[in-house]
Amino acid sequence: MYMARDLSERDIEIFKKLAPECAAMTCGGSGHAFQSILPPVSNHFADSAEDFERRLRALDGEDLQYLVDRIVDGSESLGCIPDEDMESLARRIRVVLSDDAAEAVLVRYGESGARSW
């Protein structure tokens, strides 16, 4: 289950790598502060699945491991990420980290009520 959180400095650092054009850490539609990294990048900043995948390449292994840890502990939401963006994330995690890390993320994605892998 996803736990709402205030983004830490580390979260914001990763967010800015993925969406350097982001001027404020708030959702333009709701005015609320972002409480996760991947959903806003996927839904508000990436223009397409290809753009989301390109953005993920800005993350190194430490950044990806940090995200995997947040996903697995339930503090990073995956619920509203489109399947094609989730597939891009899983591919990137497989390449940079491991099959096991990608599988753990896909399991959490399925638990979020999204597509079951």
Phi-psi region of 7 (alpha: psi -120 to 50; beta: other; left: phi over 0): beta
Q: Kindly state the helix (H) or strand (E) to which residue 72 belongs, with its residue range.
A: helix 61-72
The Cα–Cα gap between 52 and 117 comes to 20
Q: Fill in the amino acid letter for 37.
A: I
Residue 15: CB partners within 8 Å, gap ≥ 6? Answer: 7, 22, 25, 34, 37, 40, 41
Domain boundaries, the chain: 9-111
CA distances in angstroms from 40 to 14, 19, 83, 96, listed in the order given: 12, 9, 15, 22
What is the pLDDT confidence band of residue 3, given thresholds at 50, 70 and 90?
low
User: Worst-scoring range by mean pLDDT, 18-32, 50-64, 100-114?
Assistant: 18-32
Using the predicted structure, report yes or no on whether residue 72 has a pLDDT greater than 60.
yes
pTM for the whole structure: 0.85
- What is the reported pLDDT for 27? 46
Average pLDDT, the chain: 85
- What is the reported pLDDT for 94? 97
Using the predicted structure, report yes or no on whether residue 32 has a pLDDT greater than 80.
no
What is the pLDDT confidence band of residue 116, given thresholds at 50, 70 and 90?
very low
